Chains A and B, each alone.
Chain A
Amino acid sequence: MALFAIFQTTFFLTLLSLRTYQSEVLAERLPLTPVSLKVSTNSTRQSLHLQWTVHNLPYHQELKMVFQIQISRIETSNVIWVGNYSTTVKWNQVLHWSWESELPLECATHFVRIKSVVDDAKFPEPNFWSNWSSWEEVSVQDSTGQDILFVFPKDKLVEEGTNVTICYVSRNIQNNVSCYLEGKQIHGEQLDPHVTAFNLNSVPFIRNKGTNIYCEASQGNVSEGMKGIVLFVSKVLEEPKDFSCETEDFKTLHCTWDPGTDTALGWSKQPSQSYTLFESFSGEKKLCTHKNWCNWQITQDSQETYNFTLIAENYLRKRSVNILFNLTHRVYLMNPFSVNFENVNATNAIMTWKVHSMRNNFTYLCQIELHGEGKMMQYNVSVKVNGEYFLSELEPATEYMARVRCADASHFWKWSEWSGQNFTTLEAAPSEAPDVWRIVNLEPGNHTVTLFWKPLSKLHANGKILFYNVVVENLDKPSRSELHSIPAPANSTKLILDRCSYQICVTANNSVGASPASVIVISADPENKEVEEERIAGTEGGFSLSWKPQPGDVIGYVVDWCDHTQDVLGDFQWKNVGPNTTSTVISTDAFRPGVRYDFRIYGLSTKRIACLLEKKTGYSQELAPSDNPHVLVDTLTSHSFTLSWKDYSTESQPGFIQGYHVYLKSKARQCHPRFEKAVLSDGSECCKYKIDNPEEKALIVDNLKPESFYEFFITPFTSAGEGPSATFTKVTTPDEHSSMLIHILLPMVFCVLLIMVMCYLKSQWIKETCYPDIPDPYKSSILSLIKFKENPHLIIMNVSDCIPDAIEVVSKPEGTKIQFLGTRKSLTETELTKPNYLYLLPTEKNHSGPGPCICFENLTYNQAASDSGSCGHVPVSPKAPSMLGLMTSPENVLKALEKNYINSLGEIPAGETSLNYVSQLASPMFGDKDSLPTNPVEPPHCSEYKMQMAVSLRLALPPPTENSSLSSITLLDPGEHYC
């Protein structure tokens, strides 16, 4: 028992001691302290990389441990980050851990320390933290050299939208440092006197050449240095969109996608994102050379399913997109080929094509589109390799375009591209009779029928119309039909038929055949029915026509119309109306305002004979008259005149002429009866008279005043207004008595003429009766008896027996002065050489002669002059001054001469010139008649005067010499001619 007790005590003590030993061992080894802590840096990534080991770890033993890491910045006490790192630690293992700093490591010194604790289930609580390792100082020494300013991080690449911290390190704290982002100053947080950090939140992409940030150190205004960095901001890499793969030959898969934004940056800072295709079943990978498509070679025929991953990647990010598909479900067929048309006729065709064979027993779905005549038809058909489709219900002579595309029928993925071709159907005979109408003109003995037809529409022509056949058949007499073939595109023809009934058939013909015939019957009975024309008012939309139905059976009505003024053939139109319709609206764009259209409505009997029912005429829009009538003034009297414009046509006007407006202007304020006052467009007032009857083309304007001035203007008017304004025509009424004078004067003139004629015829008798000839004593027979006895002493009358009635004085010019009425200067004062004149001074004081003196004409010198029977008696105005002093120049002299001479001629009326003819025998100086020829010199002045009388006005003008002028004025001045 004691032994057992001793054994038990020993065992217990042993166990206790073992336990105590074990506890001591662990107590010695725990906590396991991290040792050999080394810190390295990655400046580009701005990361600290820690590595350490754990001492005292049992051999081949693994322990879960937690490491606490503390990071300080600038100084150890400034802890900026504390974190735990849990891991399983093996014996002799070097542990690694990284930490990324938001601040560039170059900006500040960092300190790192670490401690650990066992966190393993094998060692239950309590566990103790080890002691801190010593601080490891981390400093990136890039701020070397002589520079005084540094900016970090250098040329960093970040993604758009990230936050970036930059800093500058200034060696000299005295410097004032300013920093700029893209030219704009930024403000930061000072970490220590040398370092300032700037937080840039969510940096944007500006350009692929990078965002410029620079700092400038200065003292005062002096720049001490400048440093800058370029921050490369990349656009965010997008996930590829619309990624899909397909095959058209089961040999190649063609994969496409939308790459999105290109994230390339300048200076090769980041190339464009790369794309890689990865197929998971085969494990194959392919780097794509294009940014939006890639071809994948199908190597294994057995692989039906593919799982593709498209990976887009740049320096900052990786994106991927995945598709899983069965190869047979992604078949994109090549477009069909050998598209042809067989058995093409007027309405049908067979379309054939081929499909690129993919695999055996493949069924294709094909879609056919047929385009023609502005319509599109679509058909689907299932085919194997050779496709065929029967195209029916086609239009003849029509060009169609047919195209086809195909797809895999079992697993529709997408249609192939189209393959198409054009084809044209053949022609067919025209399907409808041409619309035919006619105009029948009655001429003596025959009809002239002008046939019109409308060209067939393309739908009914079924090809190109080549000609029209017109068959004329006489219904009254059995005879052969006449065939007229009119080549297209003519649309009318003229037939001259006799007075029989005829049936006319018109067909349109193309290369295949003729259309159904259009039949018209021309009745032998002419259309002599008088139908009154009715006026209708059109609108801009056209004419609304209605008519009374034709009695009896009708197969329809025809309305034809043409321009009222134009040639019928030029603008002839018609419209067919059904038998139960008695009204229609003729609307066409061809209706022009101001043009009158004539409509005729025919009823067509069952025998196809047309019967004129009604005539209508009207304008789609009436316009005011375009011209005014030419007005004639008739029967102009002192109280009235008549205006007429008979030539004015009311038919060819741009509207129905409703009447005329007569405008009359006169000096009288009041208008004549029937006229009313009106104001013209120019504001002037006048009188207006309205004629409501368009056929009344004359107007008598009466109640006028004689010798008065009137103006009139006549213009027609329609419902749209009156004609253009024009000038007024002027009329002056004649004098009231002028007609009376004419009535009196004409007979009187006639009577006088009659008397004169009679007097001429009876002149001899009158002469003998009224003034018989007076006998001349010199011609007396007694004289002849005296001469015969030759007695020289025979004198009929002695001079001494005569009492002279004038004294003849011959004046001596020297020293003599003659005064002319006291105001006249003496001639001798100015002209001493003036020849003497012969003055006849009356002896009787009461002499009442016409002038102060009489110039005697010596008839001896110029017999011709004496025959004129006038002598220069010129009365002298006492006021007339001597003109010599005024006319110093030859021109003046000439003018004066001419004027004076004309005046002198004019001032000598023949009736007023009184001459006292003195017998030359009575002159005491020339008492002897025989002595006259012996004294040709005396008096020379009279000869000058006579010459004046003999020359004409033109010849009297002297030559333009000074001397001659002077001499002429001396001679011709009437003032100088006083005798």
Chain B
Amino acid sequence: MDLRAGDSWGMLACLCTVLWHLPAVPALNRTGDPGPGPSIQKTYDLTRYLEHQLRSLAGTYLNYLGPPFNEPDFNPPRLGAETLPRATVDLEVWRSLNDKLRLTQNYEAYSHLLCYLRGLNRQAATAELRRSLAHFCTSLQGLLGSIAGVMAALGYPLPQPLPGTEPTWTPGPAHSDFLQKMDDFWLLKELQTWLWRSAKDFNRLKKKMQPPAAAVTLHLGAHGF
């Protein structure tokens, strides 16, 4: 995994172009009851935007932590970060998940990650980094709301947090600073993996929800570009 802030302008430009043409896509611009399609598309777009945003943020934050955390091939064992929701899942397992389960996992994961991220924000020493983290937290909160919207549109209930399992960020004195840095590293890494996974989830869901006619219209509309 490459967490460095790399060449992401092209990606941003592509994303902006997609966003700009979104209203022109007939499949997403139908009158009447639009169904969950537009909200899934928006959630997907937001996921891709967050992916881009995280790439820049992670680069800055890991440089702030210093080597070896900002080294591209640094792959430490997952120490002390066991409470973070894991995004990695076996492909077969992922395929076997249904939409409800997929969305529920996404929602739960981002709920946890957002909480940890706010803890990260509190510890950040520089004002600029704090601003970036706060901005990302807001965006992530938006994504959480979008997922909740999609779930509501599809008629799925939101997962209720179990009492006592509320994730909390505690600056434990027993927790060494090195492990704390490691946790931060893993938090950012998991976030990136989750965003990548969510993009695939929403893309799959989007395709599933699209009626065949809309696909044809979209195809024809693409000639206009």
Q: What is A's interface to B at a CB cutoff of 8 Å?
A: 154-155, 180, 182-183, 206-212, 214, 223, 225-230, 232, 266-267, 269
Docked Cα-Cα span, A182 to B63, in Å, equals 12
List of B residues within 8 angstroms of A183 by Cβ: 67-68, 71
Which segment of B10-18, B49-57, B102-110, B177-185 sits at the interface?
B177-185
A208-B125, A210-B177 given as contacts; is B79 within 8 A of A226 (CB)? Answer: yes
* B193 to A: closest C-beta gap in Å: 20
Interface residue ranges of B43-84 to A (CB < 8 Å): 64-69, 71, 76-77, 79
A627 CB to nearest chain B CB (Å): 63
A-B contacts, 6 of them at CB < 8 A, read A206-B66, A207-B64, A211-B66, A212-B181, A230-B178, A230-B181
Bound-state CA distance A207–B126 (Å) is: 12
A180 & B68 in contact (Cβ 8 Å cutoff): yes
**Contacting pair B66 A212 (CB below 8 A):** yes
| In the bound complex, CA of A208 to CA of B76 (Å) | 23
Select one of B67, B71, B79, B123 contacting A267, CB under 8 A: B123
Q: Within 8 Å CB of B123, what residues of A?
A: 266-267
Give Cα distance in the complex from A325 to B178, angstroms: 50
How many angstroms from the CA of A207 to the CA of B177 in the assembled complex? 14
A223-B77 CB under 8 A given contacts A207-B66, A208-B125:
yes
Please tell me if the beta carbons of A155 and B176 are within 8 angstroms of each other in the complex: yes
Contact between A155 and B177, CB atoms less than 8 A apart: yes
Inter-chain contact B180/A267, CB cutoff 8 Å: yes
Residues of A within 8 A of B182 (CB): 228
Contact of A214 among B64, B65, B125, B178 (CB under 8 A): B178
Residue of A155, A180, A223 with most chain B CB atoms under a 10 A cut-off: A155
Interchain nearest-CB distance for A487 vs B (Å): 66
CB-based contact A230/B68 at 8 Å: no
Shortest Cβ distance from B22 into chain A, in angstroms? Answer: 41
List chain B residues, Cβ under 8 A from A230.
176-178, 181
| CB pair B178 A212 closer than 8 Å | yes
- B68 and A225 form a contact (CB under 8 A): no
Contact residues in A for B79 (Cβ distance below 8 Å): 226
- Chain B residues positioned under 8 Å from A223 (CB to CB): 77
Cross-chain contact B178 with A228 (CB below 8 angstroms): yes
Chain A residues whose CB sits within 8 angstroms of the CB of B76 once the complex forms = 226
Bound CA span A553–B185, Å: 104
**Given A210-B177, A227-B178, 5 further pairs, Cβ under 8 A:** A209-B65, A209-B125, A212-B68, A214-B178, A229-B176
Q: Give A945 to B67 CA distance when docked, in angstroms.
A: 122
- Distance in angstroms from B220 CB to nearest chain A CB is 54
Contacts of A180 in B (CB 8 A): 68
When distances are taken between beta carbons in the complex, the residues of chain B under 8 Å from A226 are 76-77, 79
A residues near B65, Cβ cutoff 8 Å: 209, 212
Known: A155-B178, A229-B178. A212 touches B69 (CB 8 A): yes
Residues A267 and B177 in contact in the complex (CB < 8 Å), given A208-B125, A223-B77, A226-B79? yes
**In the complex, which residue of chain A has the Cβ closest to the Cβ of B65?**
A209
Chain A residue with Cβ nearest B75: A223
Nearest 9 interchain pairs by C-beta: A183-B67, A230-B177, A228-B178, A266-B125, A155-B177, A182-B67, A230-B178, A183-B68, A154-B176
A206 to B177, CA, bound (A): 16
What distance in Å separates the Cβ of B69 from its nearest Cβ neighbour in chain A? 7
Q: Are B178 and A209 in contact (CB under 8 A)?
A: no
* Residue in B closest to A182 when the chains form the complex, CB atoms: B67
How distant is the Cα of A229 from the Cα of B179 in the complex, in angstroms? Answer: 8
Whole-angstrom distance between the Cβ of B210 and the nearest chain A Cβ: 46
Closest to A210 in B: B177
Residues of the A chain whose Cβ atoms lie less than 8 Å from the Cβ of B178? 155, 212, 214, 227-230
C-alpha gap A212/B69 in the complex (Å): 9
CA distance A266 to B184 in the complex (A): 14
- For residue A155, which residues in chain B have a CB less than 8 angstroms away from its CB? 176-178
Q: Which of B64, B69, B71, B177 has the most CB of A within 10 A?
A: B177
What is the chain B residue whose CB lies nearest that of A208? B125
User: Which single residue of chain A is at the shortest CB-CB distance from B125?
Assistant: A266
Q: Which A-chain residue is minimally distant from B173 (CB atoms)?
A: A155
Complex interface: chain B residues within 8 A of A212 (CB): 65-69, 178, 181
Output the least CB separation between B187 and chain A (Å). Answer: 15
A208 surroundings in chain B (CB, below 8 A): 125
Residue in chain B with minimal CB distance to A232? B177
Write out, one digit per residue, whether chain B residues 75-98 have a CB within 8 A of any chain A CB (1) or not (0): 011010000000000000000000
Bound CA span A210–B178, Å? 9
A210 to B64 CA separation, bound complex (whole angstroms)? 10
Q: Separation in Å of the A600 CB from the closest CB of chain B?
A: 76
Interchain CA distance A266-B123 in the complex, whole Å: 8
Q: Are B176 and A209 in contact (CB under 8 A)?
A: no
Minimal beta-carbon separation of A597 from chain B (angstroms): 67
Which residues from B are CB-within-8-Å of A232? 177
Q: Within the assembled complex, what's the spacing in Å between the Cα atoms of A227 and B177? A: 11
**Docked CA distance A308–B217 (Å):** 82
Candidates A182, A225, A229, A267; contact of B66 at CB < 8 Å? A182
Nearest Cβ in chain B — how far from A410, in angstroms? Answer: 48
Q: Across the interface, which residues of B come within 8 angstroms of A228, CB to CB?
A: 178, 182
Q: How far is the CB of B145 from chain A (nearest CB, A)?
A: 31
Q: With a CB–CB cut-off of 8 A, which chain A residues contact B69?
A: 212
> In B173-206, which residues have CB < 8 Å from any A CB?
176-178, 180-182
Whether B176 pairs with A214 at a CB distance below 8 angstroms is no
Q: Which residues of A contact B66 (CB under 8 A)?
A: 182, 206-207, 209-212
Give B71 Cβ to nearest chain A Cβ, in Å. 6
CA distance A182 to B70 in the complex (A): 10
Complex CA distance for A209 and B65, rounded to whole angstroms: 6
Contact A225 B77 (CB under 8 A): yes
Distance of A905 Cα from B71 Cα, bound (Å): 109
Q: Which residues of B contact A267 (CB under 8 A)?
A: 123, 125, 177, 180
**Taking CB as reference atom, which chain B residue is nearest A154?**
B176
Neighbouring B residues of A269 by C-beta, 8 Å:
177
CA distance in complex: A212, B179 (Å): 11
**C-alpha gap A614/B177 in the complex (Å):** 101
In Å, the complex CA distance between A211 and B181 comes to 11
User: In the complex, which residues of chain A have a beta carbon less than 8 angstroms from the beta carbon of B181?
Assistant: 209, 212, 230
Q: Which residue of A lies closest to B68 (CB)?
A: A183
Complex interface residues of chain B between 129 and 187 (CB less than 8 A to chain A): 176-178, 180-182
A contact residues around B67 at 8 Å (CB)? 182-183, 212
CB distance from B176 to the nearest CB of A (A): 5
B-side contacts of A227, CB under 8 Å = 178
Contact A209 B64, beta carbon cutoff 8 Å: yes
Measured between beta carbons, the chain B residues less than 8 angstroms from A229 are: 176-178
Q: Tell me the complex Cα distance, A917–B145, Å.
A: 130
Residue picked from B66, B69, B123, most chain A C-beta under 10 Å: B66
Q: In the bound complex, how far is the Cα of B71 from the Cα of A609, in angstroms?
A: 98
The smallest C-beta distance from A219 to any residue of chain B, in angstroms, reads 15
Give Cα A228 to B77, complex, Å. Answer: 12
Closest B residue, CB atoms, query A229: B178
Q: Nearest chain-B residue to A264 (Cβ)?
A: B125
Shortest distance from the beta carbon of A710 to any chain B beta carbon, whole Å = 76
Q: Which residues of A contact B177 (CB under 8 A)?
A: 154-155, 210, 229-230, 232, 267, 269
Residues from chain A with a CB closer than 8 A to the CB of B71 are 183
A927 CB to closest chain B CB (Å) equals: 104
Q: Chain A: which residue is nearest B64 at the CB level?
A: A209
Residue of A at shortest CB range from B69? A212
| Bound complex: CA A183 to CA B65 (Å) | 12
A198 vs B77: C-alpha distance in the bound complex, in angstroms?
Answer: 24
Q: Nearest Cβ distance between residue B185 and chain A, in whole angstroms? A: 11
CB distance from B178 to the nearest CB of A (A): 4
Give Cα A232–Cα B180 distance, bound, in whole angstroms.
Answer: 14
Inter-chain CA distance A182–B69, complex, in Å, is 9
A206 CB contacts on chain B under 8 angstroms: 66
Whole-angstrom distance from the CB of B171 to the nearest CB of chain A?
A: 8
Which interface residue of B64, B67, B123 has the most chain A CB atoms within 10 A?
Answer: B67
- Shortest C-beta distance, A856 to chain B (Å), equals 92
Which chain A residues lie closer than 8 Å to B125 at the CB level? Answer: 208-209, 266-267
Q: How far is the CB of A770 from chain B (nearest CB, A)?
A: 108
